[in-house]
Amino acid sequence: MAKRRRKTRTHVRDQDAAAAAAAAGARPPKSFVIRSGQVGSSVARLVRDVRQVMEPNTATRLRERSANRLKDFVNVAAQLGVTHFLMFSRTDAGTNLRIARAPRGPTVVFRVCSYSLARDVLGAQRKPKSPGSEFHFAPLVRASRVRCCCGEEEEGETTKRKATGSPILRWREKGTSEPLAQGATYLVRL
């Protein structure tokens, strides 16, 4: 009778490691980008642009109705595995962005000082690049040594940017008196 082969391979391949991590519950965060209340057409377009930036882990074709409330989205989010909400609203003071973690996480509120739509950025380019496979992967977030609007370098500042004309977001602390840089988008933390 032949001797049984003893397995000696102990290294896990990259594909097997990714499959094992997915099976273990390491899921990427998923998000809903919604608008609440009456917002203008430019803010509605900004919501669509932010959805495109957050692809593939967001609901790109989410339909909002005026009758929908936040609790409706929270109920659906539990079934779909959504972990974050990005909510745009407009008041007399300006446009606000709330980032919330579902179901009971913290909520951070920002005031959007200015923004550039993807359509405007593509229109200003001499050779506009059509989007290819850039939106098939999650966006890259650079979180170290990013200059804030006041010229200082701070750790933890985040900038999201894509070469295809997606909006550029920068954080700005409330109460700073430095002038805004031209062509940049700032979010003021309230």
Provide the percentage of residues in the chain whose pLDDT is more than 70. 65
User: Dihedrals φ, ψ of 51, to 5°?
Assistant: -60, -40
Instruction: Please tell me the predicted confidence (pLDDT) of residue 88.
Output: 93
How much is the pLDDT for 135?
77
Domain count within the chain: 1
CB atoms within 10 A of CB 4: 5
What range does the domain containing 101 cover? Answer: 28-189
Q: What is the CATH number of the domain that holds 183?
A: 3.40.50.800
Given a contact cutoff of 8 angstroms between Cβ atoms, the answer to whether 11 and 64 are in contact is no
Domain assignment present for residue 87? The answer is yes
pLDDT > 90 in the chain, percent? 9
Residue 141, Cα to own-chain centre: how many angstroms? 9
Higher pLDDT pick, 76 / 130: 76
21 in a structural domain: no
DSSP state of 6: P
pLDDT at site 151? 44
Residue 128's pLDDT band, with cuts at 50, 70 and 90, is confident
Indicate whether 17 belongs to any domain: no
Token output for 174? 């409330």
Which region among 8-12, 19-23, 87-91 has the lowest average model confidence (pLDDT)? 19-23
Per DSSP bridges, beta strands 170-173 and 159-160 are unpaired
> What strand order describes the sheet that includes 95-101?
31-36, 84-90, 95-101, 107-114, 186-189, 170-173
> Which of the residue ranges 28-37, 71-80, 93-102, 169-178 would you say has the lowest mean pLDDT?
169-178
Number of alpha helices (DSSP H) and beta strands (DSSP E) in the chain:
4, 10
**Rounded distance, CA 35 to CA 37, Å?**
7
Residue 23 falls inside a structural domain: no
